[in-house]
Amino acid sequence: MALPSSGPLTLANIQTEFGGSNPISLNEYYAGGGLVPAGTSGTYGAVPSSGTISIRNFYGTSNIVIQLTTPRTISYTSGGILSAQAGYGLDPDSYVYTAANFSGSYTQSEQWDSVPATTGNYQVRATLNSGSTPTGSALSTWLTVSSFRSWLLNASPGNFLTCNLTIEVRDTATSTVRATASVTLTADAT
């Protein structure tokens, strides 16, 4: 469970979230130092990996790692005889799935949530930056990852479609964005 984004926060709260032993020292909690995953960030940005560290750095943080590979390009070229499809989606099983084929079938790609039981605590939003509008889940809307959320380009024979999306994952309780990716989909059926 994420630490609060405001209000009281103690060293004991940080120890409960990230582990550690007594006596508690903030020096145990540098990002990438063993207890706090590298890249952990919260309400006030990234937890430092060295230098000055304070309790304030831990507001809105969590021991759960949420990550997306960026930039990401998913493309498929069919040669013009068949349709070409390119898609990207997040599943409540904690994995990203991609489609790069003529059938629109998705395959498991990478884990986006390190603790699968918590995926329902997160929302995803895809924003169309440029290109064709994909089908699938709504765009520019925060959607709880309680079901498969995906965006797909389907180019019929003779057509070429491409788009660029910004994918964001945020903690529903705190509205803290935990991961962002730039995803380009290209479906070439020419």
3-state secondary structure 1-46: CCCCCCCCCCHHHHHHHHCCCCCCCHHHHCECCCCECCCCEECCEE
* CB of 167 closer than 8 Å to CB of 88: yes
pLDDT at 58: 96
Alpha carbon distance 28, 17 (integer Å): 13
**Which residue numbers in the chain have pLDDT < 50?**
none
pLDDT at 2: 77
Alpha carbon distance 33, 154 (integer Å): 44
Residue at token pair 């809105």: 60
Q: Can you list the domains of the chain with their CATH numbers?
A: 11-58 (no CATH), 72-188 (2.60.40)
Q: Is 118 helix (H, G, I), strand (E, B) or coil?
A: helix
Tokens of 118: 């918590």
pLDDT at 63: 85
pLDDT at 150: 98
Tokens of 177: 């964005």
pLDDT at 34: 82
pLDDT at 103: 92
pLDDT at 72: 97
pLDDT at 38: 72
User: Which one-letter amino acid corresponds to residue 44?
Assistant: Y
